[in-house]
Chain A
Amino acid sequence: MKKPIYLDYSATTPVDPRVAKLMCSYLTMDDGLFGNAASRSHQYGWDAEEAIEAARKHIADLLNANPKEIVWTSGATESDNLAIKGVAEFYAKKGKHIITCKTEHKAVLDTCRQLERHGFEVSYLDPQENGLVDLNKLKAAMRDDTILVSIMHVNNEIGVIQDVAAIGKLCRENKVLFHVDAAQSAGKVPIDVEAMNIDLLSLSAHKIYGPKGVGALYVRRKPRVRLEAQMHGGGHERGMRSGTLATHQLVGMGEAFRLAAEEMASESERVRLLRDRLLKGIEDIEEVYVNGDLEQRVPHNINISFNFVEGESLMMALSELAVSSGSACTSASLEPSYVLRALGRSDELAHSSIRFSIGRFTTEADIDRAIELLHQKIDKLRALSPLWDMYKDGVDLSTVQWSAH
């Protein structure tokens, strides 16, 4: 069977063949580059260390950071955990209050929930309707005992870009540490930890054409940010994260970041044209809503609600496309996307949302096929939808008494 067209780059990306090729040369005896970077007594160890340090520099370069500020992890989930729990535990004597936002990734939200069970207090900011954090609200939430603000750069569900420079400035002025989950922004928008006053920043390789299972945490050195380690052992990564470094994974992440730095501008432009083509192609469909700010967003991600059509049935109809839905039905719970809910979208619109995410290997033909399918399937499902009938008959659905179940 023909594989569906991949439009789920925000979930994960394929490994770039250039990255895969390089990674393969760090595995076998034949290439001789499989060593343990902690082996200080022979060539294998030295070669692995050299490759890993080169990779570390590629990560640092993309952030305008120093390679010494990069700590390898298993992915952005671990980086978020290490940053938030690490800071909370180290600075607990200073204060026990943390601020984040309701639209953060679960890796941040659930880490905060865990800290709440250990005596920390967390403020979860409501975003504005466009998905962006209100700086005044953030400022108002800051207290004397606030030790950390954690706000993501680009949202994984709706693609909006937070103004991290402004948030960083506010945090610096108030002497609060600032953590940024940049899993979805690295390689898509410029990051400068100096200019943006970022103290900690989480990265993942598999969102930017590197392998899964590897990531990094940027930890500022000047002024120095301290962390309580969450993984204890051989004292790797200056004691912040023990465990033998996965040479091939790190080399892959490094190469992916090097390529991203080189190609970010041209790739973003190409992706933007594809995104605009998609939006133009469906602009004649009625009752279509883009979720999240229309300007302050990455072109790679477009989250759209098709009113009066339920998201899961639409995904089923779009089985030729690999996309994701904010609909409840894709998960075991009956709650629709908490991100869309936090924007104040109605449950109906949240249930009707589809995330299209576009990337390096998406073609115009892919987009054209998606447009064609969307027209066909939305027509079909609306013909099946009692809500569409009612809408067309001029019934205001918000005034109907539903038998909720």
Chain B
Amino acid sequence: MAYSDKVLDHYENPRNVGTFENEDDGVGTGMVGAPACGDVMRLQIKVNDEGVIEDACFKTYGCGSAIASSSLVTEWVKGKSLDEAGSIKNSDIAEELALPPVKIHCSVLAEDAIKAAINDYKSKHQD
């Protein structure tokens, strides 16, 4: 299968690989997917007092497109409010990376990962 240049770039030089302390109050963690399906994404966001995502990081088990999708969204969510980040659509991701139809599920997973991370952060700050 041929990969787009953008997928290759993110795959070769993944952005924001890493882990934040989950205990940290400002951190939201989203883990989606399943090993049995061939991809698991863990996306973490660090949110400041103004409710803006200051930093993001990821680790992904999955194919090149899954890695690229998660790498891309860590770049996209930075500087966004939770609502803005939550409105990122999988179709935007798929379009940016020129994913072929069989890889659309990777972008869906990345969207799910953002939402899961936001929900995790919000659940920590319910009071």
Hey, which bits of chain A sit against chain B, CB under 8 A? 308-313, 316, 327-330, 332, 334, 336, 346-348, 351, 383-389, 397, 402-405
Contacts and interface: CB of A to CB of B under 8 A. Distances in A.
Contacts of A397: 35
Given A313-B11, A384-B17, A386-B42, A404 B37 contact: yes
B64 interface: yes
Contacts of A310: 38-39, 61-63, 66
Given A402-B36, A403-B32, A405-B37, A312 B42 contact: no
A405 B62 contact: no
Contacts of B39: 310
A384 B3 contact: no
B86 interface: no
A389 B14 CA distance: 17
Given A316-B64, A383-B17, A389 B59 contact: yes
Contacts of B41: 386
Interface of B: 1, 3, 11, 14, 17, 19, 31-42, 59-64, 66-67, 102, 105, 108-109, 112
A384 B38 contact: no
Given A386-B42, A387-B40, 10 more contacts: A308-B61, A310-B63, A313-B67, A329-B38, A334-B38, A351-B38, A386-B41, A386-B59, A403-B112, A404-B34
A397 B40 CA distance: 12
Contacts of B42: 386
A308 B61 CA distance: 7
A355 B8 CA distance: 23
Contacts of A334: 37-38, 105
A313 B42 CA distance: 17
A310 B3 CA distance: 16
Contact of B64 (A313, A348, A351, A404): A313
A222 B75 CA distance: 72
B17 A347 contact: no
Contact of A403 (B14, B17, B34, B102): B34
A388 B31 CA distance: 14
B38 A386 contact: no
A20 B8 CA distance: 38
Nearest to A332: B102
Contacts of B112: 403, 405
A23 B96 CA distance: 50
A311 B104 CA distance: 18
A327 B121 CA distance: 34
A328 B105 CA distance: 13
Contacts of A328: 38
A308 B60 CA distance: 10
Contacts of A316: 3, 11, 63-64
B36 A346 contact: yes
B1 A330 contact: yes
Contacts of B34: 402-405
A403 B33 contact: yes
A61 to B, nearest CB: 42
B33 A402 contact: yes
B37 A347 contact: yes
